[in-house]
Structure formats: C-alpha cells, structure tokens
C-alpha cells in the first residue's frame, strides 16, 4: 500500500467498491429472476389448486353418478346371458325348435373371437330350418320373449310349394340370424373405485337408481298363434279344376251367395234391433216373428251352402264362417246362454272366497275355486260382470305367483327394524335393505319384526321369519 | 523551496491519510455495504417470502391432489359405465320385435278375410336389422290378386294407414308392377310387385322417443 500513490489508492478503493456493488446487483438481478420463477411456479400451482378444488367439489356429484350407474349397470346386464350359459344356448335353441315344431337343419356360429378388452362380446348364430309360417312365428317369438336378451338380426323366408295334400299346411324354408351379448365385467382390467360409505350412499340414492332404471326396457311380445288367418306366403287363389264335376262355383258366384247371406244376416239384425227399440208390443211381436222366419230361412240356406261346399274360396269361406255362421249361431242363444250364466252373486262369492283364501295363505284353495268358474268368465263389453271376472282372474294370477313364491328357497333368519332409515333383513345368510333386489324378479319390500314383505313379479307377498 | 524537518521522529506530526483517499474509501465501503444490504433484502425478504408461499401452496396442492385423483378415478369410472350403459341401452332399444311386426303385417294383409279390398300374398321375405342411422328393412316379392292396380293401392294404403304398424316406418314402395297370369289359378291375373318397407333408425322409434 505504501508504494501506491494517493491517486492509485483512490482508484483501488473506488474500483473495489464498484466491484462489490456490481456483484451485489448481479446477485439482486439473479434473485429477482428466481423470484419471478417462484411466482410463475406459484401461479401454476394456483391453477392446479383451483382445478383440484373444483374436482374436490365435484366428488359428491360424481360419487352419486358412479353409484347410480354401477347399480343400474348391474341390473341392466342381468338381461344378458352369462358366459357359462352360452354353452347351453344350443340346448335352448333345440328346445325352442321342438316347442314350436320347426325342423332345424343347421345352427352355425358366426362369431368373432372373444375380446377381453371389450365390455360386451356378441355371439351370433345362423339357423336354417323348415316349418309353417305359424311355427316360424312361434320359434322367433320364443327367442324374443326369452328371459335373456336375444336379438333376431335378420331372417329370410322362401315360400314352400303346396303338396298333393291340399289340406296340409305349407312348409317354408327359413334362414334366421340370432345374436346375443355377454357382459365382461372386468373388461379393461380396471378395478372399481372404492367409495367410502358406499352402502349408505346407495340407500340414500335408491329412488334415483330406480328412476334411472326406467331408461332400459326390454319389450316383449306374446304371439297368439294363427287366429284363423291364412298363411300370407301361400297363393290364396283356388286351383282351376278341369274336371267339371269337381269344379266349384266361379268366384263371382260364390261372392254373390255370400253377399246374399250377409244381407239377410244384416236384415235379421235390423229387425231384432227394431223389435227391441219399439214400445208397441204388437209391433215387437210382429218384428220378432219376421226375424225368426228370416233366421230360419237364412240358416237353411247357410246349411245348404256349407253342405254343398258352395263357397270354396279360402278368403270367402273365412268370411262365411265368421260373418254368417257364427252370427247365426249367436242369434239362437238367449242373452243368458250367450253369457255363461254365472250370476253376479256367484262371482262376488267366488271373489270373496279367493280373497279370504289368499289372506289365509290357502293358495291351492283359491286356485281350485277359480278352476270351477274359469270357463264361465267371458263376458261382453259393458257387462258389469266383466270387471268382476277381471278381478277374479287377477286374484288367480296372484295365487299362482304366490304358489311360485312359496317354492323359492328363502330363509329369513333375522330382521333389524329401524324407525328412521331403511330396515334390514338377513335372507339366505345375506343382508338386504328394504328395496334391495334379492333375485332377478324378487325385491325386498317392508321389513317387520317377525315378517318381511317381498315384491315378486309385481305381487306383494309377506313371509314370516323363522 | 525545500523544507527540512529537523525535529526528531517522535516530535514530528504523524503522517495522515489524505481526505481524498479517506473519502474514496468511505464511498467504496458505503457502495459495497448498501449493495450487499439490498441483495440481502431481496434474497431474504422477497425471495424467501415468495419461496415460502410456493412451498405452502405446493403443500396445499399435495393435500388436494389426493381428492383430485379420487375424482379423476370416479370420472373415469363414470365415463366407462356411461359408455357401457349406453351400449346396453342401444342394444336393448334397437331390437326390432319382429314377431309383433310380422303379426301386425299378417293382420293387415289378411284384412279379416275381406278380399274385396285387396288379396295379397308373398313368395319370399328378406328382413334385415338396421345399423346406426339406417333402419331395419323388409323386402318381399308380392302378388296382388286382380289386374287392377286399385287393389294394390288399397293394400299399400292399408299398410300406411295402420298407425300401430307403420309409425316406425319411413317409406314404402309406390304402387306399380306387372300383371302376370297363372292359368291354373282362379282368377288367373295378379300384379307382381316388389314390396320394400324401410324403418326409421332405432333412435327415432316411438318407444324410444317416449323414454326421452
């Protein structure tokens, strides 16, 4: 230092000061940069916090949705066959064929390989068979009303030709493709999310679950048979018979005969109506006499037409049966005869007996009583007994369902009845809450201290605990 | 002029740092200190405060991430289940009840045995399921007794006017065809025509509309 001059010293000091300050400002600049980085990080974290908070707020709603979907999906997939049932499908098809009467010639699977990734695997079979139109309709209906979901995707019909025996129904050739699906619960390999307090939340959402369940409804249809209809895949025109002796009347003639009979039937109906409407006894008597006379003449003519087979055309013959013969038959019967003769008093007593029997659990007695009157429960529209008969039929249906229910292996070993909230019952060793499905068609209704109510096939039934 | 200090060393005035040197030293120290203090302020006050805030937020985020992941899992499951529900709904709701359809079709064709209005029969039937926006179809080789096209028109009218049957259909063949004769039959004349019936896509069927 001693060698440095004053000027040099000043310079050294100032430069040192400037250097330290420079370094410090460098540090400040660097720190500011770090602060900015931190602030950016904070902003990014804030954004993530906002998103996470929004997600947290959504949890109750998402939990609800998942519970509703999970519960309903479990219900939905019950309509689909289980994988193990598929091997039985061939047996099912065979039994359907036997029951409907079609002759099954081949059943070819047109499946792709099962995919583990997909939740639903479809299984398709192509069936080739022969049968009448009505046998085919029944066969197809058996698939469409089967407890498991089976879809007829396409079908072809090739009309058969009439054989020598004209009375035999014509057999057609069919190709039909049926498809069903199997649900793969573990598809994708993901495990279901564990929702805390699942059962409680499920119980709270019971109504919503049931409401959403209405979104799926498998329509079924009960085919009621031919019902005197002609096979539309058969040419309804009559064969021209060259042998004059066997030749029936020309169609125009047949139409003329039918028209004549129909006009007479209408005339009788008119006379009878006028007789009922008039208040003058003499006129009524005269009208009824005329109607009787005309009825006799018409019956004679109709009988002649039937015996001589004057109406041979299939369609005209159907109308002859339905619009002439059946109507003439009904004229013969008194209103009492037309009905079954079962009086309102008898019906009321039957109804009362059946209600008591159902209440006491004497289901067989109720079924037997119904069998006694079953034949006479057909009443015309507007008849007050018709409504009573419907109620009796409903009671019979309940009795049958009750009998079916009594055969179900149900063991109620305990109940927990809560004043508030859903009561619980232990059925076949498992715990069920009110409203839970015990089986495909069996739901637990109200739970009492010594009994449980079930809803089975739309009927409420009560069973005592052991 | 030369000045000679003859005083002994101990009596001489001490040699002092010049004011300029001192001033410059002081200035340098002030500059260095103040800049270091400023750096300290920036680092310890501002940076550390911001860093602490970031750590706190990260901690909060860590706590929330658990819920977010739970919700993500719920949403993923919801999407998967929604897709599955939709699939099964589509499967179930797109099924044509062919038995009902064919039963109604037979009723219309049979017309309660009344052959005055029309008398129709078929040689074959090809029914196919629809897919997506294309509805199911029914295709038939049809014959209508008589050489008058009125009866055929009556038949097509009866199909179209049957609300129960036709409500889910989109189109039907227009009247037309050729007159064919089969001398072995009475009457021998019939109109041969192709009957094509096209249904609406499943989403537009009455029963699926009601659900919405």
Do B121 and B198 fall within a single domain? yes
Domain-embedded: residue A364: yes
Q: Which of A53-62, A207-216, A383-392 is least confident?
A: A207-216
Do B105 and B118 fall within a single domain? yes
Q: Please check whether residue A156 touches B, CB under 8 A.
A: yes
Q: Please check whether residue B84 touches A, CB under 8 A.
A: yes
Q: Please check whether residue A308 touches B, CB under 8 A.
A: no
Do A429 and A373 fall within a single domain? no
Q: Peptide bond before A309: cis, by omega within 30 degrees of 0?
A: no
Share of chain A above pLDDT 70, in %: 89
Kindly report the CATH number assigned to the domain that includes residue A115.
3.30.70.60
Domain-embedded: residue B76: yes
Q: What is the pLDDT of residue A324?
A: 85
Do B117 and B36 fall within a single domain? no
DSSP assignment letter at B134: B
Q: Please check whether residue A159 touches B, CB under 8 A.
A: yes
Do A371 and A432 fall within a single domain? no
Alpha helical stretches, state H, A116-250: 133-144, 198-204, 206-213
Q: Please check whether residue A185 touches B, CB under 8 A.
A: no
Q: ipTM of this model?
A: 0.75
Owning domain of residue B196: 98-211
HSE of A79, CA atoms in CB hemisphere, 13 A = 24
Q: What is the pLDDT of residue B211?
A: 54
Per-residue pLDDT of chain B (212 residues; tens, 9 = 90+): 788 878 887 777 777 778 888 999 999 999 999 999 999 999 999 999 999 999 999 999 999 999 999 999 999 999 988 888 888 888 888 889 999 999 999 999 998 878 888 999 999 999 999 887 899 999 999 999 988 899 999 999 999 999 989 999 999 998 899 999 998 887 889 999 999 999 999 888 888 875 55
Q: Please check whether residue B167 touches A, CB under 8 A.
A: no
Do B74 and B43 fall within a single domain? yes
Do A87 and A106 fall within a single domain? yes
Which element (helix H / strand E) includes B172? Answer: strand B169-172
Per residue in A309-349, pLDDT (tens digit) is 888 776 777 778 778 887 887 776 655 445 456 777 778 87
Single residue among A138, A157, A185 that ends a domain in this structure: A185
Do B102 and B183 fall within a single domain? yes
Q: Give which of A37, A143, A170 is closest to A81, Cα–Cα.
A: A143
For residues A202 and A204, what is the distance between their CA atoms, to the nearest angstrom? Answer: 5
Per-residue tokens: A232: 């539309």
Q: Which residues of B touch A115 (CB under 8 A)?
A: none
A302 CB-near residues (< 8 Å, 6+ apart)? A261, A320, A324, A325, A328
Single residue among B67, B94, B121 that ends a domain in this structure: B94
Domain-embedded: residue A376: yes
Inter-chain touch B88–A229, beta carbons under 8 Å: no
Q: What is the pLDDT of residue B152?
A: 93
* Secondary structure of A204-224 in HEC code, one letter for each residue: HCHHHHHHHHCCCCCCCCCCC
For residues A8 and A211, what is the distance between their CA atoms, to the nearest angstrom? Answer: 95
Owning domain of residue A260: 240-280+291-333
Q: What is the pLDDT of residue A37?
A: 94
Quick one: CA torsion of B114, B118, B119, B123, rounded to 10 degrees?
-140
Do A326 and A349 fall within a single domain? no
Domain-embedded: residue B159: yes
Cβ-Cβ contacts under 8 Å between A and B: the total is: 282
Q: What is the pLDDT of residue A187?
A: 64
Q: Please check whether residue A193 touches B, CB under 8 A.
A: yes
Do B31 and B54 fall within a single domain? yes
Do B194 and B207 fall within a single domain? yes
Q: What is the largest CA-CA distance in chain A?
A: 165
Do A361 and A393 fall within a single domain? yes
Give the residue from chain B lying closest to A185, CA to CA.
B84
Do B47 and B84 fall within a single domain? yes
Per residue in A278-294, pLDDT (tens digit) is 888 888 888 889 988 99
How confident is the model over A194-203, as a mean pLDDT? 89
Q: Which of B73, B125, B128 sits opposite A193 (nearest CB)?
A: B73
Domain-embedded: residue A60: no
A301 SS3 class: helix
Domain-embedded: residue B193: yes
Q: What is the pLDDT of residue A214?
A: 65
**Rg of chain A (C-alpha set):** 41
Averaged confidence pLDDT in chain A: 83
Single residue among A406, A422, A453 that ends a domain in this structure: A406
Do B89 and B186 fall within a single domain? no
For residues B67 and A55, what is the distance between their CA atoms, to the nearest angstrom? Answer: 7
Do A354 and A417 fall within a single domain? no
Tracing tokens 């009840």 back to the chain, one arrives at B97
Question: b vs e for B161-198, b when ≥16 Cβ sit within 10 Å of the residue's Cβ?
Answer: eeeebbebbeebbebebeeeeeeebbbeebbebebebb
Do B111 and B180 fall within a single domain? yes
Q: Which of B58, B103, B124 sits opposite A223 (nearest CB)?
A: B103
Do B78 and B31 fall within a single domain? yes
Alpha helical stretches, state H, A77-197: 83-86, 89-100, 133-144
Q: Give which of A119, A53, A57, A127 is closest to A97, Cα–Cα.
A: A127
Please tell me the distance in Å from B181's CA to the nearest CA on chain A. 12
Q: Which of A141-150, A213-222, A309-318, B111-120 is least confident?
A: A213-222
Do A317 and A348 fall within a single domain? no
A98 CB-near residues (< 8 Å, 6+ apart)? none
Q: What is the pLDDT of residue B196?
A: 95
Do A424 and A459 fall within a single domain? yes
- What are the strands, taking DSSP E only, across A132-276? 151-158, 172-183, 238-239
Do A174 and A120 fall within a single domain? yes
Q: Which residues of A touch B31 (CB under 8 A)?
A: 17-18, 20-21
- Residue pair A294/A268 in contact (Cβ under 8 Å)? The answer is yes
For residues A32 and A9, what is the distance between their CA atoms, to the nearest angstrom? Answer: 34
How confident is the model over A266-279, as a mean pLDDT? 88
End-to-end CA distance of chain A: 112
Domain-embedded: residue B125: yes
Q: What is the pLDDT of residue A109?
A: 87
**CA–CA–CA angle B48, B50, B56 (5° rounding):** 100
Q: Give which of B65, B199, B82, B186 is closest to B138, Cα–Cα.
A: B199
Q: What is the pLDDT of residue A225?
A: 79
Kindly report the CATH number assigned to the domain that includes residue B187.
3.30.70
Inter-chain touch B81–A119, beta carbons under 8 Å: no
Per-residue tokens: B186: 């009475």
- In this structure, are strands B189-199 and B178-181 parallel, antiparallel, or unpaired? antiparallel
Q: How many domains does chain B have?
A: 2
Single residue among A357, A373, A406 that ends a domain in this structure: A406
Per residue in B57-115, pLDDT (tens digit) is 999 999 999 999 999 999 999 998 888 888 888 888 888 999 999 999 999 999 887 88
Domain-embedded: residue A39: no
How confident is the model over A16-24, as a mean pLDDT? 92
Q: Which of B75, B77, B106 sits opposite A192 (nearest CB)?
A: B77
For residues A254 and A319, what is the distance between their CA atoms, to the nearest angstrom? Answer: 11
Tracing tokens 């409401």 back to the chain, one arrives at A211
Q: Please check whether residue B80 touches A, CB under 8 A.
A: yes
Q: What is the pLDDT of residue B178?
A: 93
Q: What is the pLDDT of residue B9?
A: 78
Per residue in A290-316, pLDDT (tens digit) is 988 999 899 999 888 888 888 877 677
Single residue among B42, B76, B94 that ends a domain in this structure: B94
Q: Please check whether residue A74 touches B, CB under 8 A.
A: no
Q: How confident is the model at residue A242 (pLDDT cuts 50, 70, 90)?
A: low
Q: Which of A55, A229, A251 sits opposite B71 (nearest CB)?
A: A55
Q: How many domains does chain A have?
A: 4
HSE of B156, CA atoms in CB hemisphere, 13 A = 20
Q: Which of A10, A59, A240 sits opposite B70 (nearest CB)?
A: A59
Do A302 and A369 fall within a single domain? no
Tracing tokens 């004209």 back to the chain, one arrives at A166
Do A427 and A392 fall within a single domain? no
Single residue among B70, B94, B118 that ends a domain in this structure: B94
Inter-chain touch B57–A49, beta carbons under 8 Å: yes
Beta bridge partners of B118: none
Q: Give which of A153, A181, A176, A154 is closest to A86, Cα–Cα.
A: A181
> Testing the interface with A: which of B18, B48, B70, B191 to mutate, by most A Cβ within 10 A?
B70
Inter-chain touch B125–A157, beta carbons under 8 Å: yes
Q: Please check whether residue A14 touches B, CB under 8 A.
A: yes
Q: How confident is the model at residue A167 (pLDDT cuts 50, 70, 90)?
A: low
Inter-chain touch A229–B84, beta carbons under 8 Å: no
Q: Which residues of A touch B81 (CB under 8 A)?
A: 66, 69-70, 73
Do B124 and B202 fall within a single domain? yes
- In this structure, are strands A424-427 and A430-433 parallel, antiparallel, or unpaired? antiparallel
Give the residue from chain B lying closest to A317, CA to CA.
B113
Q: What is the pLDDT of residue A335?
A: 55
């Amino acid at each position: 230092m001693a060698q440095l001059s004053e000027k040099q010293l000043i310079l050294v000091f100032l430069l040192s000061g400037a250097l330290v300050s420079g370094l410090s400002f460098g540090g400040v600049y660097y720190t500011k940069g770090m602060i900015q980085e931190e602030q950016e990080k904070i902003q990014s974290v804030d954004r993530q916090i906002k998103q996470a908070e929004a997600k947290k707020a959504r949890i109750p709603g998402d939990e609800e949705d998942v519970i509703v979907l999970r519960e309903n999906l479990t219900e939905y997939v019950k309509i689909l066959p289980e994988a193990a049932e598929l091997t039985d499908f061939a047996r099912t098809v065979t039994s359907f064929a036997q029951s409907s009467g079609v002759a099954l010639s081949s059943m070819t699977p047109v499946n792709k390989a099962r995919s583990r990734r997909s939740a639903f695997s479809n299984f398709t079979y192509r069936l080739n068979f022969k049968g009448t139109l009505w046998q085919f309709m029944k066969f197809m209906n058996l698939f469409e009303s089967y407890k498991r979901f089976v879809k007829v995707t396409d079908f072809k019909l090739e009309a058969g030709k009439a054989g020598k025996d004209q009375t035999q129904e014509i057999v057609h050739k069919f190709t039909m493709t049926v498809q069903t699906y199997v649900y793969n619960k573990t598809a994708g390999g993901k495990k279901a999310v564990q929702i805390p307090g699942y059962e409680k939340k499920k119980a709270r959402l019971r109504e919503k679950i049931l409401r959403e369940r209405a979104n799926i409804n498998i329509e079924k249809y009960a085919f009621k048979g031919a019902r005197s209809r002609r096979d539309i895949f058969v040419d309804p025109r009559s064969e021209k018979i060259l042998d004059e002796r066997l030749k029936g009347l020309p169609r125009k003639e047949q139409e003329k005969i039918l028209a004549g009979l129909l006009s007479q039937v209408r005339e009788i109906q008119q006379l009878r109506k006028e007789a009922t409407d008039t208040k003058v006894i003499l006129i009524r008597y005269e009208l009824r006499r005329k109607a009787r006379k005309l009825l006799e003449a018409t019956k004679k003519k109709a009988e002649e037409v039937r015996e001589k087979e004057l109406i041979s055309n299939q369609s005209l013959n159907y109308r002859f049966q339905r619009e002439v013969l059946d109507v003439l038959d009904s004229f013969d019967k008194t209103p009492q005869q037309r009905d079954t003769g079962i009086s309102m008093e008898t019906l009321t007593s039957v109804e009362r007996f059946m209600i008591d029997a159902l209440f006491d659990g004497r289901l067989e007695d109720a079924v037997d009583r119904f069998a006694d009157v079953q034949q006479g429960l057909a009443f015309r529209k507007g008849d007050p007994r018709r409504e009573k008969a419907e109620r009796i039929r409903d009671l019979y249906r309940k009795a049958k369902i009750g009998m079916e229910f009594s055969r179900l292996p149900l063991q109620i070993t305990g109940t927990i009845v809560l004043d508030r909230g859903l009561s619980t019952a232990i059925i076949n060793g498992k715990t069920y809450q009110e409203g839970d499905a015990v089986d495909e068609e069996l739901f637990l209704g109200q739970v009492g201290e010594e009994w449980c109510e079930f809803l089975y096939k739309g009927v409420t039934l009560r069973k005592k605990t052991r | 002029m030369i000045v000679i200090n003859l005083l002994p060393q101990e009596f001489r005035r001490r040699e002092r740092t010049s004011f300029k040197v001192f001033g410059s030293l002081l200035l340098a120290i002030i500059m260095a200190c103040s800049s270091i203090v400023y750096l300290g302020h920036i680092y310890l006050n501002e940076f550390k405060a911001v860093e602490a805030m970031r750590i706190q937020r990260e901690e909060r985020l860590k706590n929330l991430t658990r819920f977010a992941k739970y919700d993500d899992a719920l949403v993923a499951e919801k999407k998967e289940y929604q897709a599955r529900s939709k699939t099964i709904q589509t499967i179930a709701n797109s099924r044509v009840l062919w038995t009902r359809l064919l039963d109604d079709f037979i009723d219309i064709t049979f017309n309660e045995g009344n052959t005055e209005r029309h008398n129709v029969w078929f040689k074959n039937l090809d029914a196919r399921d629809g897919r997506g926006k294309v509805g199911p179809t029914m295709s038939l080789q049809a014959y209508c007794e008589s050489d008058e096209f009125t009866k055929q028109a009556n038949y097509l009218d009866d199909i179209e006017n049957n609300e129960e049957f036709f409500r889910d259909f989109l189109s039907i063949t227009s009247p037309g065809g050729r007159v064919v004769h089969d001398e072995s039959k009475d009457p021998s004349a019939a109109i041969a025509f192709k009957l094509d019936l096209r249904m609406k896509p499943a989403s537009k069927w009455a029963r699926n509309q009601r659900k919405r």
